[in-house]
Amino acid sequence: MRRDRAAGRYVSASAYGEGADWLRNVLADPAVEIEVGRRVLSAWARRLECGEGERELRDYARRHPVAFRVLGWVLGQQMQATDAAIAALAERMPVVAFVARDPQPAGLRGPQPRC
């Protein structure tokens, strides 16, 4: 969905929801490697809180309106960029942040938040 070069942070959404294998894997073990272009980076995965995920989805819909609609087509639903529609989407489309790996930050062990 986006990257923050200065913070070494990448944000992605699980379009297929809670059951996506990659999501279950990163929640089970947040020490991951991600591919960004031709680079492989060591990172920590953290599922965003509901409000954070909703803000990321809203920002994505604003910055990429065509891609947001195409995502809806791929998922077999009409995507609308209204506040209510994005709030509902955030409840079924988890958003994960990947940050450059240093010593494990607090809050990655134990259950990750769910909307």
Query: Is there a domain that residue 21 lies in?
Result: yes
Backbone angles phi, psi at 58, to 5 degrees: -65, -45
Q: What is the pLDDT of residues 38-91, one digit of tens each?
A: 888 899 999 999 899 999 999 999 999 999 888 888 888 788 888 888 998 888
| Strand-strand pairing, 95-100 and 39-47 | antiparallel
Query: Is there a domain that residue 13 lies in?
Result: yes
CATH of the domain at 83: 2.30.110.10
Residue 105's pLDDT is what? 52
Residue 37's pLDDT is what? 86
Tell me, what amino acid is at 18? E
Assign 103 to helix, strand or coil: coil
Q: Among 45-49, 67-71, 106-110, 111-115, which range has the highest average pLDDT?
A: 45-49
What tokens appear for 24 in the block?
């279950």
Percent of the chain at pLDDT above 70? 88
Host domain of residue 73? 2-100
